[in-house]
A = this chain, B = another copy of it.
Amino acid sequence: MKKLLAIPLMMFMMQAGYAQTTDAQLQKNRAFTGAVAKQRQYNAIYQLDKNDPKVIQKAIRNINNALNDPRLKGKLQIELVAFSQGTDALLKGSEYEEALKALIGRGVIVAQCRNTLEERKIPMEQLYDFVALVPSGNGELIIRQAEGWSVVKP
């Protein structure tokens, strides 16, 4: 009886696109160990547009993790672009000064969107002196990807 019911259910699931997953498929998945980095150089732009401390800390941690990834070690250029509320991380007095400087020490470009400064009426002097300015954060994201850079939004 159970068997008779099971067949239509299975057929329904298969039609719905959900075929039963085989053990072989599960084992094959488990055996995967990650993409292989065959290029000499990699580039990535990180988007920071929130002032939630968890998101800012995650962005910094993510960037360090990418730089430490044995597959990318020594061949990864990163740019962090802040805009919208993400700008708060780059304002003097924020708790991220040392972490940001350390990123620059590792070769990361740390940049702020000029547009946001105008919209939020933030004078340039309120940013840490080491911060770069780009015309717009969104333009930066678009141009970098068009150049072949990867994009990550933490």
Contact = CB atoms under 8 A, between A and B. Distances in A.
A108 to B, nearest CB: 8
Contact of A152 (B37, B67, B111, B142): B142
Given A68-B17, A145-B150, A150-B146, A135 B105 contact: no
Nearest to A107: B25
Identical chains bound together, number: 3
Contacts of A153: 47, 153
Nearest to A143: B35
Contacts of A69: 115, 135-136, 138-139
Interface residues of A, number: 74
Interface in A90-106: 101-102, 104-106
Interface string A36-50: 110100101001010
Interface of A: 17-22, 25-27, 29-37, 39, 42, 44, 47, 49, 58, 61-72, 76, 84, 101-102, 104-106, 109-111, 113, 115, 119, 129-148, 150-154
